[in-house]
Amino acid sequence: MSDIIDVLTGIESGSSLDAIRRTREQARQNAQRSFEVLFEPAEPGTFSLAERYAVSAYTVALQASASPAAAFYTELLEDEVSPELAAAVAELAERDRRAGPYGEYQETGLAAESVPGPTVSYAQRPNVVSERLAAALEHAHLLSLHPRDAEASHLRRLEEAGWNADDIVTLSQLISFLAFQIRVVDGLLALKGAA
C-alpha cells in the first residue's frame, strides 16, 4: 500500500525506489504512523485539528514552498477547515519566509558562527488567526528556520497563550516531524530525478 511519502514523491509500487524504501519497512510504517497520530488522532483533545492543519500548512510553506508537500498541507487546511484560514496562513508564511537555518549560539565558544535574524511576532494578525494559533505559528517559525535561537521563554509564551505541556510536546513533534517528512520527500525526488 502507498503511504504519504509515496504519494508526494510519485514513487510507484514495484519501482526500484519502492523496493529500497521497503528495506526499511519499520521506518516506512512509522513515518506514516507519525503522520496519523499527529494529524488524524483518535482524540485530538485540546489541540484541535484546525490548529494542527493551520500550523502544518504554515510550516511547510516556510520550509519547502516548492515541495509537493506544500500543496498537500495547504489543501488539507482549505478542505478540512477554511479557505480563509489557508489564505491567511499562506500570507504570513510568504511574508516571513527566509533562508535557514540561522540563529545565535548560546554556547560562548560558537559566538563567531552566530547568524542573527528575525523572531516573528503575530500580535498584529488577520482576524481569522486566534491569539493561541498565533503563538503556535510564531513557534513554528522559530523551529522551522532558527531553532538554535530557542529559549525557555518561548515555551512560557506558549503557556501564556493557552498551550498546556502535553499540547506543547505535540505541537513540537508536529512541526519537527514535518521538517523530517519534507526532507525525505526532497531527497527522494532528487534521487528519482537523477536515476
Partner 1 sequence: MSDIQYPESNRPEGFTQQGLGWQPWLAPVAEAELTEEQRGALIGQFRLKSPYFRLLVRNPEALEARTLTDQDIFYNVTSGLPRAEREIAASAASRINGCVYCASVHTDRATKESGREEDVQKLLDDGVEADLGQPWSAIAQASAALTETPSAFDAGQIDALREAGLDDADIVDVINGAAFFNWANRLMLSLGEPSQPR
Instruction: Compute CA distances 36 → 31, 33, 44, 46, 141, whole Å.
Output: 9, 5, 11, 17, 23
- The only residue of 106, 116, 118, 121 in contact with partner 1, by rule CB under 8 A: 106
CA atoms within 13 A on the CB side of 137: 33
- Asked if 161 and 123 count as a contact pair (C-beta separation under 8 A), the reply is no
Task: Mark the segment that binds partner 1 (CB under 8 A) among 77-85, 87-95, 98-106, 124-132.
Answer: 98-106
Is 154 a residue that touches partner 1 (CB under 8 A)?
yes
Q: Cα–chain-centroid distance for residue 190?
A: 20
- The only residue of 48, 119, 130, 176 in contact with partner 1, by rule CB under 8 A: 176
Q: At 169, list the grid cell.
A: 510536546
- Asked if 49 and 73 count as a contact pair (C-beta separation under 8 A), the reply is no
Angle, vertex CA 129, rays to CA 175 and CA 79, nearest 5: 70
Q: Which is nearer to partner 1, 4 or 150 (CB)?
A: 150
**Residues 6-45 vs partner 1: string with x where CB under 8 A?**
----------xx--xx-xxxxx-xxx-xx--xx--x----
State which H helix or E strand residue 164 sits in: none
- The only residue of 2, 61, 63, 120 in contact with partner 1, by rule CB under 8 A: 63
Q: Name the residues that contact partner 1, by CB under 8 A.
A: 16-17, 20-21, 23-27, 29-31, 33-34, 37-38, 41, 62-67, 99-101, 103, 105-110, 113, 139, 142-145, 147-148, 150, 152, 154-155, 159, 165-166, 168-170, 172-173, 175-177, 179-184, 186-188, 190-191, 193-195
